[in-house]
Amino acid sequence: MSEVKVRLRNVVKEFPARRGDKPVRAVDNISLDIYDGEFFAMLGPSGCGKTTTLRMIAGFEQPSSGEILIDGEPMQGVPAYHRPVNTVFQDYALFPHMTIFQNVMFGLEMARVDKKEARDRAMSALEMVRLPHIAQRKPRELSGGQQQRVALARALVKQPSVLLLDEPLGALDLKLRREMQLELKTMQQELGITFVFVTHDQEEAMTMANRIAVMDGGHVLQVGRSDEIYETPANRFVADFIGETNFLSGQLVAHSNKSGTVRLDNETLIQALLSHQDVVDSGEVVVAIRPERIMLRAYDEVIESTDNLNIINGQVRQVYYIGTDTRYIVRIGNDIDLTVRVQNTEYQKSLAFREMQTVKVLWDTTNARILTD
């Protein structure tokens, strides 16, 4: 991608202590580059500092230390109303005393855009979100989804350099949410505006974003494309937060440059890739394997063993049929259960394995990653 649009350099935000409490470090030394035209998602659990980061970019909070640059310009001391960014608030914050049209016009009036041009732009913004017919209504006469779209139109009509969205779909029901996700993505691609999108929904982030920053406790743990984050999570938290993962804890007993041998708590030895060179220093590790990367075979099936294949014995404990795939809980030793997802394809429609059946559990070494605990 091209040039950097928003740059955060060692940004820290500390809220002063309330009575009796310690000061809160909502954002702890974040550095990020967000590129021009990118759909960038900030993903993390509640309280990890997403909103605070966004508010610092918007100018509603000042960093305790560190620097924020937009289009290469330091934002230190620049008030919110002079920044080339606009925000879609989580609860939309449409002005209740104005009509929808007046709401959309507001930002243009503030920028002293010529009256006629402003009207045209406001109208086409409403057309873009497919709501020109409700221009004369008041916000309280709209549904949640409509309000959401108006909030979007109100922000986009200003043609911002960056659009900040703080969980804009949080209040919508699932179906509408899915629709809006696609709509937002399409709109972003057509307009080419940089979107910074905050969410705690990993599926949402993966559907829409070019790149994702996974956050926790005020830190950015990993930044990357969705496939990078899914396939090569930097640590246990990321692997756990993005998608479903089996974690097997054990000890690293041998390793080469790229892979290692881990002795699980039940003495089974398995091979896995090293996620990071540093993991060789720690004895206690976890191996992360995605449920859909594990295969099951009948116990008596003959399998040609290759270097990269892990084969261990297991017993099916539970079977859940969930339409597109079947989920098996397979026990591979004392108290070690693996979740396995098998897709129900044309050739494997029925439930291939029954409860209590003994099976072979297989996975490729490249699909198992050794992480620090």
Ligand X SMILES: Nc1ncnc2c1ncn2[C@@H]1O[C@H](COP(=O)(O)OP(=O)(O)OP(=O)(O)O)[C@@H](O)[C@H]1O
Of ligand X, Mg ion, another protein, none, which one sits near residue 24, judging by CB under 5 to 8 A according to partner kind? ligand X
Pick out residues in 111-170 that bind another protein (CB under 8 A).
Answer: 111, 154-155, 158
- Paired tokens of 285: 């590790």
Instruction: List the Cα angle 287/291/297 in 5-degree steps.
Output: 105
Interaction of residue 24 with ligand X, rule CB under 6 A: yes
21 CB-near residues (< 8 Å, 6+ apart): none
Partner touching 47 among Mg ion, ligand X, another protein, none, CB below 5 to 8 Å by kind: ligand X
Residue 250 binds: one of ligand X, Mg ion, another protein, none (C-beta under 5 to 8 A by kind)? none
CB of 31 to ligand X, least distance (A): 17
Q: How far is CA 185 from CA 138, 170, 177, 324, in A?
A: 27, 16, 12, 26
Please give the size of the binding site for another protein, defined by CB under 8 A.
24
3-state SS, residue 50: helix
Distances 288 to 222, 337, 352, 366 between C-alpha atoms, Å = 16, 13, 25, 11
> Strand, coil or helix: what is 120?
helix
State residue 297 phi and psi, 5-degree precision. -135, 155
Stretch that binds Mg ion, among 14-22, 48-56, 248-256, 285-293 (CB under 5 A): 48-56
Applying CB under 6 A, the span of 41-49, 104-112, 149-157, 233-241 interacting with ligand X comes to: 41-49
CB of 19 vs another protein, minimal distance in Å: 9
- Contacts of another protein in 73-112 (CB under 8 A): 79-82, 85-87, 89, 91, 93-97, 106-107, 110-111
Q: For the chain, report the end-to-end CA distance as a whole number of angstroms.
A: 34
By CB under 6 A, name the one of 39, 41, 43, 50 that touches ligand X.
50
- 203 is a site residue for another protein (CB under 8 A): no
- DSSP per-residue letters across 170-232: TTS-HHHHHHHHHHHHHHHHHH--EEEEEES-HHHHHHH-SEEEEEETTEEEEEE-HHHHHHS
Phi-psi region of 130 (alpha: psi -120 to 50; beta: other; left: phi over 0): left
Give CA angle at 63 (80, 6), nearest 5°: 65
The window from 39-47, 202-210, 262-270, 274-282 that contacts ligand X (CB under 6 A) reads 39-47
Q: Is 51 one of the binding residues for Mg ion (CB under 5 A)? A: yes
User: In the complex with ligand X, which residue's Cβ is closer, 46 or 306?
Assistant: 46
Residue with tokens 């709401």: 103
Residues 178-237 that bind ligand X (CB under 6 A): 200
Fill in the DSSP letter of residue 292. G
Q: Does 195 bind another protein (CB under 8 A)?
A: no
What is the chain's length?
373
Helix (H, G, I), strand (E, B) or coil at 28: strand
From 21-29, 44-52, 286-294, 327-335, span contacting Mg ion (CB under 5 A):
44-52
For residue 52, the partner it binds in Mg ion, another protein, ligand X, none, with Cβ less than 5 to 8 A by kind, is ligand X
Instruction: Decide if residue 49 touches ligand X (CB under 6 A).
Output: yes
Q: Residue numbers of the site for another protein (CB under 8 A)?
A: 58-60, 79-82, 85-87, 89, 91, 93-97, 106-107, 110-111, 154-155, 158
Residues engaged in binding Mg ion (CB under 5 A): 51
Q: Which residues sit at the interface with ligand X, rule CB under 6 A?
A: 15, 24, 26, 44, 46-52, 200
